[in-house]
Structure 1
Amino acid sequence: MQINNVSNPTMTVYPPKGLNTGAAVIVFPGGGFRVLAIDLEGTEICDWLTSQGMTCVLLKYRVPGGNDYFDEKCRCRIFPKIPLALQDAQRTIKLVRSKAREMNLNPRKIGVIGFSAGGYLVAQVSNIVSSAYATVDPVDELSSRPDFAIALYPGHLCRSGALESSIHVTKETPPTFLVQAWDDPVDPICNSTLYARALNEAGVPAEVHLFAKGGHAFGLREKDHPIAAWPSLLKSWLKEIGVLSMR
């Protein structure tokens, strides 16, 4: 299911099933900044995250109008002067962090996961620390940088063979997990390889999985190729970096 014309952002919280690890993951669905794949890359992902003892926060970020991010002249995706999705993502991270005690979370275990366009949002919030919006309340004094980041088949990062100019990876960028298929027909593999190279050059711990087959927008539904193993690989990585350790 896809939704569009989102003018009012919302965040929906799904509590962990069973033991609570104290970790939370904010989910950014994909959809090319035109729509949101709210089930494939939203609620289905939350079902898996909560089954691992993590709180899931599903962000329905603004995608106002189906063509606001598409230029008919060049037949390409463009970005508005006002980065609505980035504003919503930054604010959500701050809100979750501000409510850590209330939600029984460890404020140092707040991560993000994004798919396609949502993967681009993951890179943005991982590296853009200045607020994209005017201060609203004391919550905005908190950091919007996640403690860990997960991007699947990210888009918009590879521009003419170079990393998108607004993404400046530093040693402060959080540990990152990347997954993409080499045969992705929508977002070329360079979106992951260029970002992985930047992470490596900055000394950021990263785990990168590039599979031969899987296409695009596979979510948790791919069952016929090795790329279907990404959830178990992610679980192992989350354990290794201490996210799935208790508290």
Structure 2
Amino acid sequence: MRLPIFWLVFILLISSATANAQVWQPAPGQIQVAIWPEAVPDALLTSKAESVAHVEGHGGWAQVRDVSQPTMTVYAPKGENAGAAVVVFPGGGFKVLAMDLEGSEICDWLTSRGITCVLLKYRVPNGNHYWDEKCQCHVTPKIPRALQDAQRTIRLVRSKAKELNLDPGKIGVIGFSAGGYLVAQTSNIFTLTYKPVDAIDKLSSRPDFAIALYPGHLCRAGGTFDRSIRVTKQTPPTFLLQAWDDPVDPVCNSTLYARALDQAGVPAEVHLFARGGHAFGLRDKEHPVSSWPTLVENWLEETGVLPTPIP
């Protein structure tokens, strides 16, 4: 299959940016491309190079650190193309990225349902709201670099809808933990968070549907909802799921967001499970929370993103 010109141009960019560095790479056959055509906006000066470490827990997962060159990897749908795309935001507290546990494994599931999957490797550390160990406090950078990367990626996918055989009105997002916070941000912040770099930035970054699993950073001190997230009728239909025993991001992250969605009249589906903990991805096989992919698929069918199976 011939590669579209779009990919050929960006392959050169990402190849030069990652030369001689231990960077995360997708499985053979997948193409990782830069999301910015030239210089990355508001880049942080750092001497640290991107690296990948294997971390124990949840069966082991790839922890990607010090990402300064954001990229996206497009996974083509398997079987019949549903004409929909989902941009995936892995978690990691805006310090690291769980690129397999909450990234490539999610794409394997989505593509099996005929959905084009776009895995975003956004900038970390300190890309957005995060916990700082030095001050033992939450910090919100003046420049939300992870959100910049997320907005740009959604616009890029929308600009290539014809090339990728997509319905430009069926481009959604899914995120986990910190990535779930990115879901809330992209679902409610539509103004450019960076200076436009080309015609692509004239397109909308609003996702058409949103899925957030065990989101973080929405529930602030005193159990209050993050004031920077202003839910309106423009917020896309949303699916929320979390375990009540989550030891990292309390369940109030989902309940407060669900209340805000309800008050704004936004269609939402919410699932709260008694057990499941945090960062289970697709790997939990012991608790009912493991049924979440089927719940998402049913929701996508009801919202018209996926075709309803013929009995």
> Could you say whether these structures have the same fold, taking a TM-score greater than 0.5 normalized by the shorter chain as the test?
yes
In the TM superposition, 1:116-127 aligns within 5 A as 116-127=177-188
Find the structure with the greater CA-based Rg.
2
Deviation string, structure 1 residues 57-109 (Cα, Å, up to 9, x no partner): 0000000479x944334413422111100000000000000000000000000
Aligned partner of residue 19 in structure 1, secondary structure: coil
Q: Residue in 1 aligned with 2:236?
A: 174
Aligned partner of residue 305 in structure 2, secondary structure: coil
1:219 to 278, 281, 287: 281
Q: Residue in 1 aligned with 2:246?
A: 184
Q: Residue in 2 aligned with 1:71?
A: 132
- In structure 1, list runs of 5 or more residues that go unmatched: none
Q: Contact conserved, 1:27 with 1:114, CA < 8 A, in 2?
A: yes
2: distance between equivalents of 1:69 and 1:185?
16
Aligned partner of residue 140 in structure 2, secondary structure: coil
1:47 to 88, 108, 113: 108
- Runs of 4 or more above 6 Å deviation: none
Normalised by the size of structure 2, how large is the TM-score?
Answer: 0.77
Q: Residue in 1 aligned with 2:305?
A: 243
Q: Contact conserved, 2:94 with 2:126, CA < 8 A, in 1?
A: no
Q: Residue in 2 aligned with 1:229?
A: 291
Higher relative contact order (CA 8 A, sep 6+): 1
Aligned partner of residue 197 in structure 2, secondary structure: coil
Aligned-residue sequence identity (percent) comes to: 75
In structure 2, do the counterparts of structure 1 residues 65 and 126 end up closer, same or farther at CA, with 3 Å as the change threshold? closer
Q: Residue in 2 aligned with 1:102?
A: 163
In structure 2, do the counterparts of structure 1 residues 218 and 89 end up closer, same or farther at CA, with 3 Å as the change threshold? same
Aligned partner of residue 36 in structure 1, secondary structure: strand
Which amino acid letter does the alignment assign opposite residue 37 of structure 1? Answer: A
Q: Residue in 2 aligned with 1:19?
A: 80
Normalised by the size of structure 1, how large is the TM-score?
Answer: 0.96
Q: Residue in 2 aligned with 1:112?
A: 173
In structure 2, do the counterparts of structure 1 residues 4 and 65 end up closer, same or farther at CA, with 3 Å as the change threshold? farther
1:132 aligns with 2:193: yes
Cα RMSD, aligned residues only: 1.4
Deviation string, structure 1 residues 97-129 (Cα, Å, up to 9, x no partner): 000000000000000000000000000000001
1:58 aligns with 2:119: yes
Q: Residue in 2 aligned with 1:156?
A: 217
Q: Residue in 1 aligned with 2:25?
A: none
2: distance between equivalents of 1:175 and 1:65?
28
Q: Contact conserved, 1:153 with 1:187, CA < 8 A, in 2?
A: yes
Which amino acid letter does the alignment assign opposite residue 132 of structure 1? Answer: T
Q: Which moved more, 1:171-180 or 1:69-78?
A: 69-78
2: distance between equivalents of 1:122 and 1:72?
25
- Alignment coverage as a number of residue pairs: 245
In structure 2, do the counterparts of structure 1 residues 187 and 64 end up closer, same or farther at CA, with 3 Å as the change threshold? closer
Which amino acid letter does the alignment assign opposite residue 207 of structure 1? Answer: E
2: distance between equivalents of 1:5 and 1:65?
9
In structure 2, do the counterparts of structure 1 residues 165 and 57 end up closer, same or farther at CA, with 3 Å as the change threshold? same
Q: Contact conserved, 2:126 with 2:141, CA < 8 A, in 1?
A: no
Aligned partner of residue 165 in structure 2, secondary structure: coil
2: distance between equivalents of 1:70 and 1:196?
23
2: distance between equivalents of 1:184 and 1:64?
23
In structure 2, do the counterparts of structure 1 residues 47 and 208 end up closer, same or farther at CA, with 3 Å as the change threshold? same
Give the superposition deviation at 1:163: 1.0
Aligned partner of residue 3 in structure 1, secondary structure: strand
